[in-house]
Chains A and B, each alone.
Chain A
Amino acid sequence: MVGPPLRAEGLARRFGGLTVLDGVDLTVDAGETVILLGPNGAGKTTLLRILALLLAPTGGRLCLFGRDATRAPAALRRRVGYVGHEISCYPELSAAENLAFYARLFGVADATARIARLLAWAGLDGAGRRPVRAYSRGMGQRLALARALLHEPDLLILDEPFSGLDPDAVERLQRQLLELRAAGHSIVLATHDVERAAPIASRLAILHRGRISWVHDGRGADAAVIVAAYRAVVAPRA
Chain B
Amino acid sequence: MRDALAILAKDLRIEWRTREGISSVFVLGVLLVVVLTFAHDPSPETAPTLAPGVLWGAFVLTGLLGVQRAFLLERENDCLAGLLSAPLDPAAIYAGKLASNVVLLAVTQAVVVPLTGLFLHLDLVPRLPALLLVCLLGNVGFASLATLFGALATRVRAREVMLPLLLLPLLVPLLIGAVQATRAVLVGGLAAASDGLGVLAAFDVIFAVAGWLLFAYVVRD
Chain A residues engaging chain B, CB cutoff 8 angstroms: 49, 52-56, 74-75, 77-78, 80-82, 84-93, 97, 101-102, 104-107, 132, 147
Contact = CB atoms under 8 A, between A and B. Distances in A.
B19 to A, nearest CB: 11
A53 B3 CA distance: 19
Given A77-B86, A105-B86, A56 B77 contact: no
Given A54-B81, A88-B81, 17 more contacts: A49-B221, A53-B85, A54-B84, A54-B85, A54-B221, A56-B220, A77-B85, A86-B78, A88-B77, A88-B82, A90-B73, A91-B77, A93-B10, A93-B14, A101-B6, A104-B3, A132-B77
A106 B220 contact: no
28 contacts: A49-B221, A54-B81, A54-B84, A55-B220, A55-B221, A74-B87, A75-B87, A77-B85, A77-B86, A81-B85, A84-B81, A85-B78, A86-B78, A87-B78, A88-B79, A88-B81, A90-B77, A92-B14, A92-B18, A93-B13, A93-B14, A93-B17, A97-B13, A101-B6, A101-B10, A105-B88, A106-B86, A147-B82
B103 to A, nearest CB: 17
A105 B78 contact: no
Contact of B85 (A75, A82, A92, A93): A82
Give the interface residue-count category, chain B: 20 to 34
A21 to B, nearest CB: 13
Closest 6 CB pairs of A and B: A88-B82, A86-B78, A105-B86, A77-B87, A104-B6, A74-B87
B220 to A, nearest CB: 7
B89 interface: yes
Contacts of B88: 74, 105
Nearest to B92: A105
B76 interface: yes
B209 interface: no
A79 to B, nearest CB: 9
Contacts of B3: 104-105
Nearest to B86: A105
A77 B89 CA distance: 11
B10 A90 contact: yes
Interface in B193-221: 220-221
Interface in B65-103: 73, 76-79, 81-89
Contact of A89 (B2, B82, B84, B220): B82
Given A55-B221, A77-B87, A105-B88, A91 B76 contact: yes
Given A92-B17, A93-B10, A93-B14, A86 B81 contact: yes
Interface string B1-41: 01100100010011001100000000000000000000000
Residue among A53, A74, A85, A104 with most chain B CB within 10 A: A104
A105 B221 contact: no
A104 B81 contact: no
Contacts of B86: 77, 102, 105-106
A101 B73 CA distance: 14
Contacts of A74: 87-89
A105 B6 contact: yes
A147 B14 CA distance: 18
Nearest to B11: A90
A196 B6 CA distance: 38
Contacts of B79: 88-90
A52 B89 CA distance: 16
Contacts of A91: 76-77
Given A55-B221, A86-B78, A97-B13, A105 B84 contact: no
Contacts of A106: 86-87
Nearest to B85: A82
Contacts of A88: 77-79, 81-82, 85
Contacts of B14: 90, 92-93
Nearest to A140: B77
A77 B81 CA distance: 12
A214 to B, nearest CB: 28
Contacts of B18: 92
A56 B79 CA distance: 19
A159 to B, nearest CB: 10
